Amino acid sequence: MATIVKVLSTGSEKGSCIYIATEGSSVLIDAGPSKTKIEKLLLVQNYDPTKIDAIFISHEHQDHCAGIAFADKFKIPVYGSVGTLKAIGRLDSGRIVKTNGFTGFASFQNHYMNVKAFNISHDAMEPFGYTVHTADKKVSVLMDTGCVNEEMLVAMEHSDIYVFECNHDIEMLNSNTKYHDGLKYRILSDIGHMSNDAAAEALAKLIQGRGEQIYLTHMSQNNNTADKAEKAVKLALFEKGLVKNKHYKLAVI
């Protein structure tokens, strides 16, 4: 069975939830939608909720963990950093993740899947991005982050599939009169959210033209469009000599 990556839901309004599966194992990255909604999203895709082995939470903001009760219903272990588990009230019941391994063992690893964490830059207690290694693919999931530094690039390099935040167009955000200056500053800061240009710059450093799959996610409904996000990434990769559908695949979710 080839590795499956399905962005079930994304964005501040809908909540983030990514399904990753291979033969014999499946996990969720984040549980942002409600408990009932996550179950429905899985069943619509014919994914069995009882077969989920783990849920990894990137950070404690509600659009990434509001549906965590889904884990209780199906008795699924919840993984996250000490800061995240503490913030969501699961420090005692959850399983602690560290960037150099997990408590009690090197990483979440079974016969089919190996999950590792890396630090990201967001205004949360201790936010993480995740890489998932399967028999045939490396998947990198980078959700809410205000910047991408060298440590993050090293963690994600040589991936086959990238699930990447592409939150806002800077010009649209700056001209949005419904957003006060403090909120704009927070979004644009290094602990805010990734702009189209920042995502494009990072992806240009990561994509090698091996047919990688890119999913652009967590787009603002007020400060971005799918067309602007796609154009920014395509331009950055074109300047590197890479063309969509020839050297890589791109989908805006």
Q: Which domains does the chain have, with CATH numbers?
A: 1-113 (3.60.15.10), 145-253 (no CATH)
72-86 tens-digit pLDDT = 999 999 999 999 999
Strands 161-165 and 95-98: unpaired
CB burial of residue 32 (10 Å; 0-12, 13-18, 19+):
buried
DSSP state, residue 24: T
Mean pLDDT of the chain: 95
Percent of the chain scoring above 90 in pLDDT: 91
Neighbours of 225 (CB within 10 A): 15
CA dist 143 and 217 (Å) reads: 8
CA dist 157 and 139 (Å) reads: 10
Distances (CA, A) of 154 to 10, 36, 117, 186, 200: 25, 36, 12, 26, 16
Q: Is the pLDDT at 181 greater than 80, yes or no?
A: yes
Q: Is the pLDDT at 251 greater than 90, yes or no?
A: yes
The residue among 5, 16, 1, 223 whose CA lies nearest residue 132 is: 5
Question: Token pair for residue 109?
Answer: 């690893």
Q: Is the pLDDT at 165 greater than 60, yes or no?
A: yes
Mean pLDDT, residues 208-231: 98
| Between 205 and 94, residue with greater pLDDT | 205
113-128 tens-digit pLDDT = 999 999 999 999 999 9
Q: Is the pLDDT at 49 greater than 60, yes or no?
A: yes
